[in-house]
Amino acid sequence: MPDGYAFLKGHGTENDFVLLPDHDGSVHGDLAVARVRALCDRRAGLGADGVLRVIRTNVIDPPLAAAAEWFMDYRNADGGLSEMCGNGIRLFALHLAQEGLVDPSAPVPIATRDGTKTVTLDGDAITVDLGHPRDLGQTTVGVDVRSWSARHVDMGNPHAVAFVDDLADAGRLLDVPAFDAAVYPHGVNVEFVVRRGPGHVAMRVHERGVGETRSCGTGAGAVLVATALADGRDPAHDGAGDAAYVVDVPGGRLGLTWTADDRVLLTGPAVVVARGTTSL
């Protein structure tokens, strides 16, 4: 590793990330857990919810290289691998476009640990096709002495969505909410949701390996699915067309659509706010 290496900092609805350009994998090797933690440290590092390494797919996952030139190598703030990140992939695509690494006028395929995702850039509205959701039934989550029924939704990564009377019911979310380890052996992202009106909800989230974050893109997708099902909607089977919802997060607002062909589309902004070099 050189004494200093390049980084960028950005966010999607205040879910923030450090981006590491490492196109041929020569700078960061296997990207050690300790480095990810140091970069994400909000007092001694750059501060972030996770790290996005920008690397060519043929370096890290050759079988996916035919579908996408670029791979989003995503790690949570604790250094753990994560399959997907809905806010992060919008920032990732924006960076590729700004650096002239992709054609922003065409859909951008990006490989992830949950397969290849397609991102469309239209000014501040950046849309990612999160793919097919999986509704895996009911489970339970808890905070302190309280517990709630939750819907288990897989968006390529695991989520438990609980409807509460007030978002304050989730407490400070400094600690991991209680969950069934037999259902989620590798941990889970837990979303707490309240209704704001027809087709409109608000959420808070505890992300595994991070804590409470200002936004979670795949979590918003899981909330969309859980809310639509609670409203008696299942676009892939009910013949009523797409189900569209607005999801407010502490860091802003996201638009979600569950399409009649059973795909979840997430639309929201992303912005790069800084760049430089670091030796962390």
pLDDT tens sequence across 100-131:
999 999 999 999 999 999 999 999 999 999 99
Same domain, 157 and 104: no
* Pair (56, 175) in one structural domain: no
Hey, what's the torsion of the CAs at 151, 228, 204, 8, to 10 degrees? 110
Residue 221: per-residue pLDDT: 98
Considering the chain, what percentage of its residues have pLDDT values greater than 90? 97
Beta-bridge mates of residue 187: none
pLDDT greater than 90 at residue 1: no
Same domain, 25 and 65: yes
Are both 72 and 55 inside the same structural domain? yes
Residues 163 and 44 in one domain: no
Q: Identify whether residues 161 and 250 lie together within a single domain.
A: yes
Catalytically active residues are 85, 216
Q: What is the CATH number of the domain that holds 274?
A: 3.10.310.10
Same domain? For 21 and 111 the reply is yes
The whole-angstrom separation of Cα 108 and Cα 266 is 15
| Structural domain of 235 | 134-262
Q: Are residues 162 and 109 in the same domain?
A: no
Count of structural domains, the chain: 2
pLDDT digit string, tens, across residues 177-190:
999 999 999 999 99
For residues 221 and 230, what is the distance between their CA atoms, to the nearest angstrom? 14
- pTM here is 0.95
CB atoms within 10 A of CB 151: 23
Q: What secondary structure does DSSP assign to 9-20, as a single string?
A: EEEETTEEEEEE
